[in-house]
Amino acid sequence: MAGIDLSRWDWAPGKKARLHRLFYQFGPGEGLGMFLPVDHGLEHGPVDFLPNPPSADPEYILRLAVEGRYSAVVFQYGIASRYYAPFAGRIPLVLKINGKTNIPPADEPISPLTATVEDAVRLGADAVGYTLYVGSPLQDRDFKQFLEVRREAERFGMPIIVWAYPRGRYVEEKGGRDSLYAIEYAARVAAELGADVIKVNVPEFVPEKMARSPKPYDSTVLDVKEAMARVVWAAGGVPVLVSGGSKIGDEDLLARARASLEGGAVGLIFGRNIFQRPYEEAIRLSHRIAELMQAFRAAAVK
């Protein structure tokens, strides 16, 4: 079935109500989600806003999210607590509750907490976002930190969207962060640890890197739809969202969106590909993506 199915599991009512708002009341609806993540000021620095300088202003992003008809905007605490109030009720919020800069080397990453689930409740968020660096030498600390977040999220009926990111030197030794091996494994780990929704990057098949992946990944080459179907399969029924990555052309982005949905993803979470375009262009593209999703959904239920 295309889209998140809220009747499938015995969700706590709070979680179910929040997921319903995200996947049925806002955005493309019908169980599909379209999210606008803008935590790049922390993760990459202001350099990500340079291609379209107005995008550094959170109010600009909130207007874009409303007019672009997104399911939710994703912010870190400092931005959400200052800017979200006038928009509350008009566009849902996902509060990212951990994060880091890309200034230190990437070989032992961990994403420390920057906010709590209680903050998310106070701000009116409909989910929290947590980056899990699967395979990092520091993953034991990450797993414990995630356990605390999961406990708090369960207490408050708050869904957790896990950024399932394979990272660190061992991941690089085994084919890299974008290999099918690493992304499929990260999606599964997020499911095993209790994610409600899992966000992944699209796997890439670079022969020199693949050769370092364990069998059979060293010789498996798939197109985007097939690769996403594998990641969705590995996630064991936990809904999967697909990231955009660095900016690409409109048609390539739409093709990636289409192939991801065909592979079984329930939604898209495109950041730079949207906010690095000029405002009107970003709105037009957002509407095209939403229309594509709705057409896909209509065809799937026929």
Give the active site residues. Answer: 165, 199
- The residue from 111, 243, 260, 286 that contacts ligand FBP (CB under 6 A) is 243
Query: DSSP readout, the chain?
Result: --S--TTSS---HHHHHHHHIIIIISTTBTTBEEEEE--HHHHT-GGGGTTSGGGGSHHHHHHHHHHTT-SEEEE-HHHHHHHSGGGTTTS-EEEE-B---S-S-TTS----B-S-HHHHHHHT-SEEEEEEEET-TTHHHHHHHHHHHHHHHHHHT--EEEEEEE-SHHHHHTT-TTSHHHHHHHHHHHHHHT-SEEEEPPP---HHHHTTSPTTGGG----HHHHHHHHHHHTTTS-EEEE--S---HHHHHHHHHHHHHTT--EEE-SHHHHTS-HHHHHHHHHHHHHHHHHHHHHHH-
Nearer to ligand FBP, 16 or 44 (CB): 44
Q: Is 245 in the site for ligand FBP (CB under 6 A)?
A: yes
Applying CB under 6 A, the span of 34-42, 144-152, 179-187, 285-293 interacting with ligand FBP comes to 34-42
Cα–Cα distance for residue pair 203/185, rounded to 1 Å? 11
Q: How far is the CB of 229 from ligand FBP (least distance, A)?
A: 21
- The residue from 117, 271, 286, 289 that contacts ligand FBP (CB under 6 A) is 271
CB 241 within 8 A of CB 265: yes
Q: How far is the CB of 144 from ligand FBP (least distance, A)?
A: 21
Applying CB under 6 A, the span of 23-31, 134-142, 189-197, 243-251 interacting with ligand FBP comes to 243-251
Nearer to ligand FBP, 36 or 117 (CB): 36
Q: Is 263 in the site for ligand FBP (CB under 6 A)?
A: no
Nearer to ligand FBP, 40 or 188 (CB): 40
- The residue from 40, 174, 209, 230 that contacts ligand FBP (CB under 6 A) is 40
- The residue from 39, 142, 152, 184 that contacts ligand FBP (CB under 6 A) is 39
Nearer to ligand FBP, 19 or 274 (CB): 274
Nearer to ligand FBP, 174 or 247 (CB): 247
Q: Is 49 in the site for ligand FBP (CB under 6 A)?
A: no
Cα–Cα distance for residue pair 124/258, rounded to 1 Å? 31
Cα–Cα distance for residue pair 159/19, rounded to 1 Å? 7
Site for ligand FBP in 155-214 (CB under 6 A): 163, 165
- The residue from 28, 33, 37, 203 that contacts ligand FBP (CB under 6 A) is 37
Nearer to ligand FBP, 24 or 130 (CB): 130
Q: How far is the CB of 100 from ligand FBP (least distance, A)?
A: 9
Cα–Cα distance for residue pair 108/138, rounded to 1 Å? 6
- The residue from 213, 270, 286, 290 that contacts ligand FBP (CB under 6 A) is 270
Site for ligand FBP in 81-120 (CB under 6 A): 102
The tokens describing 291, both together, are 């229309």
CB 245 within 8 A of CB 281: no
Q: Which residues of the chain form contacts with ligand FBP (CB under 6 A)? A: 37, 39-40, 43-44, 102, 163, 165, 243-245, 270-273
